Protein backbone atom coordinates (compact mmCIF):
# COMPACT_ATOMS: atom_id res chain seq x y z
CA UNK A 1 0.00 0.00 0.00
CA UNK A 2 1.29 3.46 -0.88
CA UNK A 3 -0.15 5.74 1.83
CA UNK A 4 0.43 9.49 1.71
CA UNK A 5 1.17 11.68 4.69
CA UNK A 6 -1.61 14.23 5.39
CA UNK A 7 0.47 17.13 4.06
CA UNK A 8 1.20 15.18 0.87
CA UNK A 9 -2.47 14.35 0.42
CA UNK A 10 -3.35 18.03 0.85
CA UNK A 11 -0.73 18.96 -1.75
CA UNK A 12 -2.09 16.41 -4.23
CA UNK A 13 -5.68 17.55 -3.68
CA UNK A 14 -4.68 21.17 -4.27
CA UNK A 15 -2.80 20.22 -7.44
CA UNK A 16 -5.80 18.24 -8.70
CA UNK A 17 -8.14 21.15 -7.95
CA UNK A 18 -5.80 23.60 -9.68
CA UNK A 19 -5.70 21.38 -12.75
CA UNK A 20 -9.50 21.18 -12.92
CA UNK A 21 -9.77 24.92 -12.34
CA UNK A 22 -7.27 25.64 -15.14
CA UNK A 23 -9.07 23.37 -17.61
CA UNK A 24 -12.62 24.56 -16.86
CA UNK A 25 -14.41 25.63 -20.07
CA UNK A 26 -15.87 28.72 -18.38
CA UNK A 27 -14.33 31.67 -16.57
CA UNK A 28 -13.72 31.19 -12.85
CA UNK A 29 -12.14 33.09 -9.98
CA UNK A 30 -11.35 31.88 -6.48
CA UNK A 31 -11.92 34.60 -3.87
CA UNK A 32 -10.80 34.58 -0.24
CA UNK A 33 -11.92 36.28 2.96
CA UNK A 34 -14.51 38.88 3.88
CA UNK A 35 -13.11 41.39 1.38
CA UNK A 36 -13.28 38.84 -1.46
CA UNK A 37 -9.61 38.95 -2.35
CA UNK A 38 -8.68 37.28 -5.64
CA UNK A 39 -6.62 34.19 -4.88
CA UNK A 40 -6.63 32.51 -8.28
CA UNK A 41 -8.18 33.03 -11.71
CA UNK A 42 -8.30 30.64 -14.63
CA UNK A 43 -7.38 31.49 -18.25
CA UNK A 44 -11.04 32.12 -19.15
CA UNK A 45 -11.31 34.76 -16.44
CA UNK A 46 -8.02 36.31 -17.56
CA UNK A 47 -9.41 36.62 -21.11
CA UNK A 48 -12.58 38.20 -19.70
CA UNK A 49 -10.74 40.94 -17.78
CA UNK A 50 -7.81 41.44 -20.13
CA UNK A 51 -4.24 41.72 -18.89
CA UNK A 52 -5.08 43.31 -15.54
CA UNK A 53 -3.34 41.73 -12.55
CA UNK A 54 -6.07 41.07 -9.97
CA UNK A 55 -4.41 38.44 -7.74
CA UNK A 56 -4.29 39.83 -4.20
CA UNK A 57 -6.76 42.62 -4.97
CA UNK A 58 -10.24 42.92 -3.52
CA UNK A 59 -13.41 42.37 -5.53
CA UNK A 60 -15.06 45.60 -4.34
pLDDT tens digits for 30-53?
Answer: 999 999 999 999 999 999 999 999
Confidence of residue 2 (pLDDT cuts 50, 70, 90): low
Provide the mean pLDDT of the chain: 88
Q: Nearest 5°: CA angle at 20, between 16 and 21? A: 115
The Cα 42–Cα 57 span in angstroms is 15
Please list the residues that pair with 31 across neighbouring strands: 38
Pair 39, 59: CB distance under 8 Å: no
List, in sequence order, every residue forming a beta bridge with 29; answer none if it has no partner: 41
| The model's pTM | 0.71
Amino acid sequence: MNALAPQDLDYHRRREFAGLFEEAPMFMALLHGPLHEFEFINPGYQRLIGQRDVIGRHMA
